[in-house]
Structure 1
Amino acid sequence: MCVGQLGSLLPHVVVPSILAAFLIPEWHLSGAQAGLLAGSGAAGYMLAVPVLATLTDRIDARKILIAGSALSALGTLLFGLFASGLWSGALLNALAGVGFAGAYMPGLKALTDRLASGDSSRAVTLYTSSFSFGVGLSFLVSQLVADSLGWRSAFFVTALGPIVMLAVCLLLRPVAPKPAPGRLLDFAPVFRNTRAMGFVLGYGAHCFELYGIRTWVVAFWTFVAMKNSDTSLLTPIVVSVIFSLLAMPASILGNEFALRVGRHRAITIVMFASAIVALLIGVFADKSPWFLLPLLLAYAITVPADSGALTSGMSMAAHPDYRGATLAAHSTVGFSLSALGAWGVGVALDLAGGPSSANAWMAAFSVLAAGILLGPVALYWSRRVSPQS
């Protein structure tokens, strides 16, 4: 499943990867428009995942996974063929996002349905942390292909990735879930589960920060490289790939940290640390790349370090009869705030002078810091309402 997810994720950040070098100048996009384009995939995901993830409580998640993977490949291919501006690009990117909604959380449900109960925490963390490895691969392949063959070719090549997940699905044994009680989109039992909702809302804050920086990390390092001459080894491709690859061990270690000191405490510590690092990057945005690189690498660790703990915490807190619905709420909140994070950083850049201004990057990283600090608030609320958590 982790290997299949790498394939599913190959198209995942192709738009953010080529945004600064190709789409912004060719389509004359503002920061807000670029953020809207990048966030449209998350918006499509958000609209589809409540139905698709909740359906996994009623039918084998493998069936949804097959359909979602096929649609993800199709949407990516159509973007490469037909996208010609903001709105056509946003529509086709949203279509690919709908496909990914049938791949990511249904993939997690397909995995957990086939595991013994005691295997879930580390297995879920490995699955969610491999997400970051797949994103790093997406950054690498997208930028290399775009630089060599043109940006449309990046979509043609990455559209092949979801076919890997289709092959994996053929190896999964069929599983028929126990019929869930209630209506298909009845989220009332999920919302009443305050233990799970604390993790869901915390995941939303995490996704705001994560997708905000993933959308704009290439543009930020392009700004750093333009202001300095000593970046021959630190190209945007290298930095964005390293940033993403660090997320996998960070997420695994973050979950291990949570198992030892408690999930709420560990996640809160990580989120506060991430906000501090974001503000430091913003303050020193115009400094040497060799000064900024350690800060950015530290950020590459703090941003995803709470991911596995949040998702495994949600999965274990979910009622077994409503695990698919809880996954749906988790993803809907997360990817709603992902789209908002990509757009919000773009708006901050526009308002503070554009991506060529150090003050604008200070504003952008301040927005990211403010977003992640909402996570500890959600966890504190959850603990007050449900002391046993």
Structure 2
Amino acid sequence: MLPHVVVPSILAAFLIPEWHLTGAEAGLLAGAGAAGYMLTVPFLAALTDRIDARKILIAGSALNALGTLLFGVFASGLWSGVLFNAIVGVGFAGAYMPGLKALTDRLEPGDSSRAVTLYTSSFSLGVGLSFLVSQLVAESWGWRSAFLVTAVGPVLMLLVCLLLPAVEPKPAQGRLLDFAPVFRNKTAMGFVLGYGAHCFELYGSRTWLVAFWTFVVLRHGEASIFAPIVVSVVFSLLAMPASIVGNELALKFGRHRAITTVMLSSAVVALLIGLFADNSPRLLLVLLLVYALTVPADSGALTSGMTMSAGPRYRGATMAMHSTVGFSLSALGAWGIGIALDLAGGPLNPSAWTAAFSVLALGILLGPVALFWSRAKVPQV
């Protein structure tokens, strides 16, 4: 996870001014990683139904490190940055969901819910470290060094893979990219579509968090305001306990009810941040801390719900669909927020941030709609 948010971390302070990027171009650059992920994860995750996911995890980690190094050494503008960030995304497609499949293949069935939630919530711990390391390194030694240093993370993952015991997956039926059984599983698809709404909000907020807090600091100029690096790291680290607690609430009160409540709450908080974008930074900090809890609180419950409702022989394919939908909307979230900022006057305009957080709120509200659809009974004719 160490290279995962290097681009969003350095976007406002380094890449936008150096490469003269508009909001839409910056969103395109940040979303290229999610786009590369989305284009390749259907094949790579589905392949884990046929071969040991550890093998794909090794290849994905190596490519993740390579793309990060290429960005740090050769990126010189928007399109070269898009290309190298997309390569990073392809590598991550071979690491994240195949890593989850490698985990679940080595667990007893009763262990899956909490184990999957711990895995997905550790994603946020990795994001927090990525924010912290990349910003500290970029400020000390330049933004290219941030990529060179964080590329060490996927290399270390290669060593971890060697410690995993080998397993052979159960033989899969049908063609490799046959997702018809996944589409027919309405329960699983409800969680998949809900995850898409979650990813739209999550990646949109993470991509533009540093830029938003930079706007707040510049707008008010108070020395007592926390620096963007502190806010971004805390925002990410709070996600891990929030995701774990969210899954526990789902186990206690019902998965659909808990997820829907979290999503509605998150939409309200996003709207409040947008409405008060030009108000007291202390109020905004409180709202952001609450938002840091609501945004990820549904993640573990959605992913564990997907894995438990997936057919055993099509779990890899279901994970592939889960990630494809999720990261497609991640790329759209990063880009869409950039477009909203441009249309509403740019990232130095308070009304632009009102528009941006309104878009995030609308995106997450699609989640409860998907969950309601997945539970609706088809009338008998």
User: In the TM superposition, what are the counterparts of 1:320-331 in structure 2 within 5 Å?
Assistant: 320-331=312-323
Equivalent residue for 2:67, pick from 75, 99, 102 = 75
Equivalent residue for 1:117, pick from 109, 114, 129 = 109
Over 3 Å counting, the alpha-carbon distance change for 1:386 and 1:46 in structure 2 is farther
Equivalent residue for 1:226, pick from 218, 223, 231 = 218
**Pairing 1:319–2:325 present:** no
Over 3 Å counting, the alpha-carbon distance change for 1:234 and 1:386 in structure 2 is farther
Question: 1:229 deviation in Å?
Answer: 2.5
Match of 1:350 in 2: 342
CA distance in 2, matches of 1:26, 1:232: 28
Show CA shifts across 1:47-67 (max 9, x none): 010000000000000000000
Secondary structure of the structure 1 residue equivalent to 2:3 = coil
Letter of the 2:265 counterpart: A
Which region of structure 1 is more displaced relative to structure 2, 223-232 or 112-121?
223-232
User: In the TM superposition, what are the counterparts of 1:352-367 in structure 2 within 5 Å?
Assistant: 352-367=344-359
Show CA shifts across 1:18-51 (max 9, x none): 0000000000000000000000000000001000
Over 3 Å counting, the alpha-carbon distance change for 1:355 and 1:110 in structure 2 is same
Over 3 Å counting, the alpha-carbon distance change for 1:240 and 1:82 in structure 2 is same
User: In the TM superposition, what are the counterparts of 1:163-312 in structure 2 within 5 Å?
Assistant: 163-312=155-304
Match of 1:5 in 2: none
Contact preservation (8 Å) 1:13, 1:139: yes
**Pairing 1:142–2:137 present:** no
Question: 1:231 deviation in Å?
Answer: 4.3
Match of 2:17 in 1: 25
Show CA shifts across 1:297-319 (max 9, x none): 00000000000000000000000
Show CA shifts across 1:284-343 (max 9, x none): 001121111110000000000000000000000000000000000000000000000000
Letter of the 2:90 counterpart: V
Contact preservation (8 Å) 1:275, 1:372: yes
CA distance in 2, matches of 1:259, 1:265: 10
Q: Count the aligned residue pairs.
A: 379
CA distance in 1, matches of 2:104, 2:197: 24
CA distance in 2, matches of 1:162, 1:231: 37
Identical counterparts, % of pairs: 80
Match of 1:87 in 2: 79
CA distance in 2, matches of 1:135, 1:67: 21
Question: 1:370 deviation in Å?
Answer: 0.2
CA distance in 2, matches of 1:229, 1:351: 26
Equivalent residue for 2:27, pick from 20, 31, 35 = 35
Contact preservation (8 Å) 2:67, 2:88: yes
**Pairing 1:60–2:66 present:** no
CA distance in 2, matches of 1:111, 1:171: 13
Letter of the 1:53 counterpart: A
Normalising by structure 2, we get a TM-score of: 0.99
**Pairing 1:152–2:144 present:** yes
Normalising by structure 1, we get a TM-score of: 0.97
Question: What is the alpha-carbon root mean square deviation over aligned residues?
Answer: 0.9
CA distance in 1, matches of 2:378, 2:140: 54
Ranges in structure 1 where 5+ consecutive residues have no aligned partner: 1-8
Ranges in structure 2 where 5+ consecutive residues have no aligned partner: none
CA distance in 1, matches of 2:378, 2:202: 27
Contact preservation (8 Å) 1:194, 1:386: no
Match of 1:6 in 2: none
Show CA shifts across 1:99-133 (max 9, x none): 00000000000000000000000000000000000
Equivalent residue for 2:41, pick from 21, 25, 49 = 49
Secondary structure of the structure 2 residue equivalent to 1:186 = coil
Match of 2:3 in 1: 11
CA distance in 1, matches of 2:278, 2:156: 42
Contact preservation (8 Å) 2:225, 2:281: no
CA distance in 2, matches of 1:77, 1:185: 31
